[in-house]
Structure 1
Amino acid sequence: MQRTAALTAPARCVGAQRPRVLCMALTVGAAVRRAVRGAQSERRRSGFDRVLFSGTPKRRAERPRPKRSRQGTKRGDTTETKQQREAPRGAEATDKMMTMVMMAMTLTCSSLLFLGLLTAQASSSDVPKTSTSPTPPSSSSSSPRMKLSYKDLLAFHGVRRYELDRSCCFSTMLLDEERGRLFVGAKNFLLSLSLDNIAKQEHKIYWPAPVDWREECNWAGKDINLNWRADKSAPSRSAQSAVLRGVLCSLSRGMDCVNYVKVLHHYNRTHLYACGTGAFHPTCAFLEVGQKMEDHIFRMNPSLIEDGKGKSPYDPRHAAASVLIGDELYSGVATDLMGRDFTIFRSLGRRTSIRTEQHDSRWLNEPKFVGAFWVPESENPDDDKIFFFFRETAVEAQGLGKATYSRIGQLCRNDMGGQRSLVNKWTTFLKTRLICSVPGSDGSDTYFDELRDVFLLQTRDRKNPLVYTVFSTSSSVFKGSAVCLYTMNDIRRAFLGPFAHKEGPNYQWVPYQGKVPYPRPGMCPSKTFGSFESTKGFPDDVIQFARHHPLMFNPVYPLKHRPVFLRTNVDYSFTQIAVDRVAAADGQYDVMFIGTDVGTVLKVISVPKENWDNMEELLLEELQVFKDSSSIINMQISSKRQQLYVGSETGLAQVPLHRCSIYGKACAECCLARDPYCAWDGTSCTRYLPNTKRRYRRQDVRNGDPNTLCSGDHHKHRVAQKKLYGVEGSSTFLECLPKSLQARITWTYQRTTDTPREEVSGASTVHLDDRVLQTDRGLLIRNVLRRDGGMYQCHAMEHGFTQTLLGIALEVVPSSSPSSALPSDPFSSLNHGRSVNQKMWYRDFMQLVDHPNLNTVDQICEQVWMRKNRQPSKAPVPAAPASGKPAAPLGVPHGPPSKWKHLQEIRKGRNRRTHESKPPHRAPRSAGEW
């Protein structure tokens, strides 16, 4: 049986779907008003009324100052005169302070009242103007179907956390499926964690910058003392809260003179290669990790530490992108202390170090590197290419102001530089623009120019992986994020297109119309496409053309020329992406896990509507992975273990890829989820495995139609039943929370078993104006009538399927007193047309602020309990006992007299003060079984 207490005024505000600012004004305004009244009563008892209501008190007549004699005065006389002189000044200062405090409180209260009234008037346009109940929110894919909080994930869904004292910024992660380890680079630490449970079997290496490097960094203008003290004095993990850890990590982020690990790669089967900033002294080291999973080895050899210039950035705020192929490291990084010389650099290995042209904006112009990948071009390894993804200041938009473009750059792995020109410089470097835009209704496109992350999804053809990218807008007017998908065929086609050319400073960028030398710039020297064995054998005209034309004219457009997932007008931005290809019953689906800057992970898929050319995006889940809402800065996915590893500035999280049990215990609920990981096995919603028997697995990701798959399972779904009591004349709330946030909720009402059902919400037939309101959490009846009693059923409609979620039996209890908990509503029985909504907003606001008898929840609950146990008013008065003692008064419950003794004493004291009889008790807004 459902028990409900009386709704307080703030609860009424929320239940009635008031705007958030108005609700804040209501609550704070009432609190300030009560504080003002309490202060006034206290001042009256203390004798300060004359200060506030009679103006500034008259200044006391000061005693004439005694004349100082030439011989001086006694010390005791001087002290007494000083105290007498300062006494009226102290009283006057106290009076002025009290006056200023009261003026400030009054001004605050008035401001909140005015703000609330303005908000109510502005929000009146959002209230329906018709006499029927508001239409419930419709199903929309813009909101996630499931939204799980940090608390729920940690308690019920297998999410694990890892945090490290005196460290932060877990920006570098390396997944090792063979060893079952997750290698992480953070501030001053290198970590080795178990892929099965990151909270256990931890190994760590403390790798700080040397003391002399930190001191030199401090001399260069970087502050280390404040943050170093905050780092050393940080409390233990068991003693500090998540918020405090976030603050400490925020402070430590400003500490530049430490070692931030920026590079972490597999070097061979037994060693890793790691690089860090080293307090503005980039340094690299080899880590021994063993050859087998049983080899629990994780150590650093100090003799194998080497210089990291050209491999790791100096400044920890600068991003770096690198890839290690064989024994060669390809890095996009800033190579100077000031962060002005950005380059793509090849180091390690036996071949000569190569870099991009220095101080040439046509090659790189203030780039911010995002990712680097190796993609084979053919079966011949000489054709292999390295692709760099970055964003930079566009040289082709200099006449239109400073604009940021996203780029993809390519270079050949076997590039050795030129012979006479571009010596030790890349001769095969080319770049072009990455376009991710949304076409507008007026023909103009909205561009997402800020590239944030790149993920290469490997396919059966390793030469043609899919490129998933995350973009955000650079405009301060339009805010949004998008995910765009590119194919390697489109990327290669752009690099085989025309070169961008500009004749002079006053000319436009146009396609190059002249003769392109042979071999074409950008082609790798190999026997596949030519007879050149090395770039040093390229003709001089090829080298000169490559120096002056690194930019391609044609950009790379995404698949189908539009994003696969888009979000605008939201309070977050995309930062990271990881993709898993899942085999379902009706095909393969790419499940996207998108990290945001508020610590959430979005689970998204794209399904075809009529055909594969018309795709529909589905936001399945929104997971609050980090409690402190810290930005997600790295993500790694393990398809083998079905786990997602998420890194932020404050910690790490391990999240399972699927949670099939949360969708429900019915076939229809599992089918409506449209999760490629999950299917109905006949008894529950579990993980879908393609090799299981088809007759026992029911899944429909493309259509999500339970009417077809679950036609014989309707009888197994049992509807939950509750009983609710509502007091006549008060308000009551019927709560119904669907699991799916995309479902459309409707309510049906049946007074008796003989009368037909009629819908209460939406196109309601209950002609009660705004008396019955539907909110996101249920149905609110603001003024309960006797005819409201009956059976209410909550129905969820999603994707053409309707199911009953809850049945509530409402029993109306007659009110035992003529008054209610709040002043009577003169407008409740009137129909004022289009102005009734605005009056109701104003009425509720003023009732909350001006009501003098606004009790606390505990007092209201005591009144409800006492009224329930009171004898009925129509019952005969019991006869006096034989002893002659008067009978107990009505309304006082029988039982131990000590339980209600304090209430009786309070009533007696109130009667003595007011000389009035005991007032009748006010009826609560809602009462239930207690």
Structure 2
Amino acid sequence: MKEGEKFRYPVAPAKLRQASVLLLLLAQGSLLEASSLQLPRFSSTFKEVLKAKSVKEFIFKFETRDFRLLHMDQGWIYAGLRDYLVSFSQSKMNREPLIIKWPASPEKEKTCRMKVIKGQENLCFNFVRVIQPLNRTHLLVCGTGAFSPICAIANRGRDPQDFVFHLVRNSQTSGLGSCSYSPHYESMATFIDGNLYTGVYMNFIGSDPAIFRTTGHLPTLRSDSYNNLWLNAPEFLKAFKISDSLNRNDDKLYFFFREKAIQGLPEPTVLALVGRVCLNDVGGQYLLTNQWTTFLKARLVCFVTEKDGRKTFFNKLQDVFIHPVDDKRDPLIYGIFTTPSDQLQGSAICVYSMADIRAAFNGSFTDKISSTNTGEPYTGDVPTPRPGSCPGGVSAPNFHSSKAFPSKMIEFIRTHPLMFNPVYPLQRRPLFVRTGPNSTFTTGVMDVVKAADGSYKVFHLGTAHGTVQKVAVLESNGTTEAVNLEEVAVFRTPAPVKTMMISSNQENLFVASDTGLSQLKLQRCPPYKTCALCCRVRDPYCISPLKSCSPKVKRCC
């Protein structure tokens, strides 16, 4: 797409959309070709992997639910639950976990039950949603607090062998801006340079979303209140610190989320977006006081092109993870996308470069977007410095602070936060696609494994029906081969996978849902009976020169 060229999602009559979906289902093998995933080569039930001692189920003596894996640090896995914080040793998983009980106060629970809608009383607990390291010995933890967000400091000791884990006395404070009121509001949190950055909902009824900065030495900031041009019913996913130049003033927070399209616009109804703000933003002097002056966002698109040229879009961004490269300024961004619920089930992994993301932010702005207008590229004069520039950075070297930005530039960013050109994936197609039953991916992690025939990227993908699929991708001579190796049930009671974390050193995968928490071994090599079968399966965890496919087939690949 050329600069300034109008981008629109295709709008098709219902019957035509249904026909397109049917065509995709019938012809997925030839339609998607190199990027299409077939059924997993092996499938295992929970009983089978439990019997093989490949999975460990964590069973607690207390009644709880809503397991969320939130942080891995210094040899420990920290999980936030309903009314509990749990700490596991990565190297000694058989040892009893360290547990903190942290319920909301009886007064808060009582007030909550009086306020919430009838039938939602089960939300009147403290759902832990933030666990971030303050330093080597302490964590910042925050929860919903029965619709009254709270934060506290947890002492975790200096070393894993200390086995210390408790809340610091009198450390509990208000969690407004650090955690949402309801566990149903998707939120994100990351601690950067002593400051907590969150994506949260700021009120009881969930009508005021915000990108918020608090806790640290910099001024508290938030996104523009009740401005749906900035945030329109968003669901926050992940946030990362990424440097845009060698100048530290250009360091930014890049955050990924999905949100509703403004009412009245054509399809899609859900947009995938990447936003950013400058870390040294301190708000405006007269306009956007105590609010971001550098907030911008751009659309992420993920689609497959059918043989007749029409595109099938995967609009719903489910999760994001990054793969660092030698230059920390240019990691690869991996997004997990799904199709709308009224269409054929399908998921896709699209990969984006930071160069393409930055190009979108350096392109045209969207102008005049409304409920009756899809938006046009802005063709007027762009203020100086360019909106979105960081004070003291490469694009605004003469401005020592965001409070020195001219009012014209700040007013422009308040009304033009969306970039016009979308961000396309590498090669303008997904890395791979899976369609059909049981193909809705909810989250994922990636591991890089060196095997006898090259370096593989191995994706462990959680699904909506409580399993983990393992997909190996080998990129060689400009071609990409994706193999769906296996699917494993990881919970005794099936439930959608909510979060996953990988420990490559310990060769374990940690998987959480509303109903349980499991540890899965990365090396789960079935008992291949022949060397040829071992090699044909192409599981990089099993064909490494230093590992065997099975006790009977040693180093044959």
Fold match, TM over 0.5?
yes
Q: Which residue of 2 aligns with 1:445?
A: 311
Matches within 5 A, 1:573-588: 573-588=440-455
- CA drift of 1:641 comes to 1.1
- CA distance change for structure 1 residues 210 and 513 in 2, over 3 Å: closer, same or farther? same
Distance (whole Å) between structure 2 residues aligned to residue 680 and residue 219 of structure 1: 59
Of 489, 492, 507, 1:627 maps to: 492
Q: Which residue of 2 aligns with 1:158?
A: 54
- CA drift of 1:326 comes to 2.1
- CA distance change for structure 1 residues 421 and 684 in 2, over 3 Å: closer, same or farther? closer
Distance (whole Å) between structure 2 residues aligned to residue 657 and residue 583 of structure 1: 14
Q: Which residue of 2 aligns with 1:190?
A: 85
TM-score w.r.t. the length of structure 2 is 0.89
Q: Which residue of 2 aligns with 1:250?
A: none
Distance (whole Å) between structure 1 residues aligned to residue 79 and residue 354 of structure 2: 30
Of 633, 637, 643, 2:508 maps to: 643
Distance (whole Å) between structure 2 residues aligned to residue 546 and residue 296 of structure 1: 49
Of 68, 74, 82, 1:171 maps to: 68
- CA drift of 1:441 comes to 2.5
Partner-residue secondary structure (3-state), 2:335: strand
Distance (whole Å) between structure 2 residues aligned to residue 354 and residue 588 of structure 1: 43
Instruction: Please list the CA deviations of residues 876-898 of structure 1 after superposition, one character each: whole Å capped at 9, or x if unmatched.
Output: xxxxxxxxxxxxxxxxxxxxxxx
- On the 8 A contact 1:223/1:255 being kept in 2, the answer is no
Distance (whole Å) between structure 2 residues aligned to residue 603 and residue 505 of structure 1: 42
- On the 8 A contact 2:452/2:545 being kept in 1, the answer is no
- CA drift of 1:144 comes to 1.0
- CA drift of 1:293 comes to 2.2
Of 39, 42, 47, 1:143 maps to: 39
2:319 aligned with 1:461 = no
- On the 8 A contact 1:645/1:652 being kept in 2, the answer is yes
Q: Which residue of 2 aligns with 1:479?
A: 345
Amino acid at match of 2:139: L
TM-score w.r.t. the length of structure 1 is 0.54
Matches within 5 A, 1:850-869: none
Of 649, 653, 676, 2:540 maps to: 676
- On the 8 A contact 1:663/1:673 being kept in 2, the answer is no
- CA drift of 1:669 comes to 2.1
Q: Which residue of 2 aligns with 1:496?
A: 362
Q: Which residue of 2 aligns with 1:664?
A: 528
Distance (whole Å) between structure 2 residues aligned to residue 386 and residue 413 of structure 1: 6
- CA drift of 1:505 comes to 6.5
- CA distance change for structure 1 residues 606 and 504 in 2, over 3 Å: closer, same or farther? closer
Over the matched positions of the two proteins, sequence identity in percent amounts to 40
- CA drift of 1:531 comes to 2.0
- CA distance change for structure 1 residues 369 and 680 in 2, over 3 Å: closer, same or farther? closer
Partner-residue secondary structure (3-state), 2:40: coil
- CA drift of 1:697 comes to 5.3
- On the 8 A contact 1:213/1:278 being kept in 2, the answer is yes
Q: Which residue of 2 aligns with 1:25?
A: none
Distance (whole Å) between structure 1 residues aligned to residue 81 and residue 248 of structure 2: 34
Instruction: Please list the CA deviations of residues 369-424 of structure 1 after superposition, one character each: whole Å capped at 9, or x if unmatched.
Output: 111111122333221110111111123x7332771111110110000111111111
Partner-residue secondary structure (3-state), 1:398: coil
Q: CA RMSD in A?
A: 2.2
Structure holding more strand per residue: 2
Amino acid at match of 2:42: M
Distance (whole Å) between structure 2 residues aligned to residue 306 and residue 213 of structure 1: 14
Matches within 5 A, 1:277-676: 277-395=144-262, 398-400=264-266, 403-502=269-368, 507-529=373-395, 530-608=397-475, 611-612=477-478, 614-660=479-525, 662-676=526-540
Amino acid at match of 1:211: P
Instruction: Please list the CA deviations of residues 859-912 of structure 1 after superposition, one character each: whole Å capped at 9, or x if unmatched.
Output: xxxxxxxxxxxxxxxxxxxxxxxxxxxxxxxxxxxxxxxxxxxxxxxxxxxxxx
Amino acid at match of 2:80: G
- CA drift of 1:500 comes to 0.8
- On the 8 A contact 2:451/2:543 being kept in 1, the answer is no
- CA distance change for structure 1 residues 363 and 680 in 2, over 3 Å: closer, same or farther? closer
2:171 aligned with 1:276 = no
Instruction: Please list the CA deviations of residues 341-368 of structure 1 after superposition, one character each: whole Å capped at 9, or x if unmatched.
Output: 0011110112211111111111111111
Partner-residue secondary structure (3-state), 1:304: coil
- CA drift of 1:321 comes to 0.8
Partner-residue secondary structure (3-state), 2:265: helix
Amino acid at match of 2:494: S
- CA distance change for structure 1 residues 149 and 400 in 2, over 3 Å: closer, same or farther? same
Distance (whole Å) between structure 1 residues aligned to residue 184 and residue 471 of structure 2: 30
2:202 aligned with 1:202 = no
Q: Which residue of 2 aligns with 1:267?
A: 134
- CA distance change for structure 1 residues 258 and 684 in 2, over 3 Å: closer, same or farther? closer
Distance (whole Å) between structure 1 residues aligned to residue 407 and residue 311 of structure 2: 41
- On the 8 A contact 2:278/2:294 being kept in 1, the answer is yes
Distance (whole Å) between structure 2 residues aligned to residue 475 and residue 263 of structure 1: 29
- CA distance change for structure 1 residues 667 and 172 in 2, over 3 Å: closer, same or farther? closer
Partner-residue secondary structure (3-state), 2:246: coil
Q: Which residue of 1 aligns with 2:108?
A: 213
Distance (whole Å) between structure 1 residues aligned to residue 151 and residue 224 of structure 2: 25
- CA drift of 1:327 comes to 1.6
Unaligned runs of 5+ in 1: 1-139, 225-252, 688-695, 700-930
Amino acid at match of 1:472: T
- CA drift of 1:477 comes to 2.9
Q: Determine which structure has more spread, i.e. the larger CA radius of gyration.
A: 1
Matches within 5 A, 1:86-125: none
Unaligned runs of 5+ in 2: 1-35
Instruction: Please list the CA deviations of residues 620-671 of structure 1 after superposition, one character each: whole Å capped at 9, or x if unmatched.
Output: 11111112211110000111111110011111111111223x1514321221
Give the count of matched residue pairs. 518
Amino acid at match of 1:441: K
Distance (whole Å) between structure 1 residues aligned to residue 66 and residue 167 of structure 2: 21
- CA distance change for structure 1 residues 197 and 223 in 2, over 3 Å: closer, same or farther? farther
Q: Which residue of 2 aligns with 1:763?
A: none
- CA drift of 1:175 comes to 0.7
Distance (whole Å) between structure 2 residues aligned to residue 629 and residue 698 of structure 1: 37
- On the 8 A contact 2:264/2:371 being kept in 1, the answer is no
Partner-residue secondary structure (3-state), 1:563: coil
- On the 8 A contact 2:363/2:420 being kept in 1, the answer is yes
Distance (whole Å) between structure 2 residues aligned to residue 162 and residue 682 of structure 1: 31
Instruction: Please list the CA deviations of residues 482-504 of structure 1 after superposition, one character each: whole Å capped at 9, or x if unmatched.
Output: 11111111111111111111287
- CA drift of 1:514 comes to 1.7
Amino acid at match of 2:432: F
- CA distance change for structure 1 residues 561 and 254 in 2, over 3 Å: closer, same or farther? farther
Instruction: Please list the CA deviations of residues 26-67 of structure 1 after superposition, one character each: whole Å capped at 9, or x if unmatched.
Output: xxxxxxxxxxxxxxxxxxxxxxxxxxxxxxxxxxxxxxxxxx
Distance (whole Å) between structure 1 residues aligned to residue 393 and residue 190 of structure 2: 26
- CA drift of 1:572 comes to 4.4
Instruction: Please list the CA deviations of residues 800-846 of structure 1 after superposition, one character each: whole Å capped at 9, or x if unmatched.
Output: xxxxxxxxxxxxxxxxxxxxxxxxxxxxxxxxxxxxxxxxxxxxxxx
Q: Which residue of 1 aligns with 2:32?
A: none
- CA drift of 1:677 comes to 2.1
- On the 8 A contact 1:145/1:620 being kept in 2, the answer is yes
Distance (whole Å) between structure 2 residues aligned to residue 528 and residue 570 of structure 1: 49
Distance (whole Å) between structure 2 residues aligned to residue 600 and residue 158 of structure 1: 14
Distance (whole Å) between structure 1 residues aligned to residue 267 and residue 454 of structure 2: 47
Partner-residue secondary structure (3-state), 1:468: strand
Distance (whole Å) between structure 1 residues aligned to residue 317 and residue 497 of structure 2: 15
Distance (whole Å) between structure 1 residues aligned to residue 325 and residue 545 of structure 2: 29
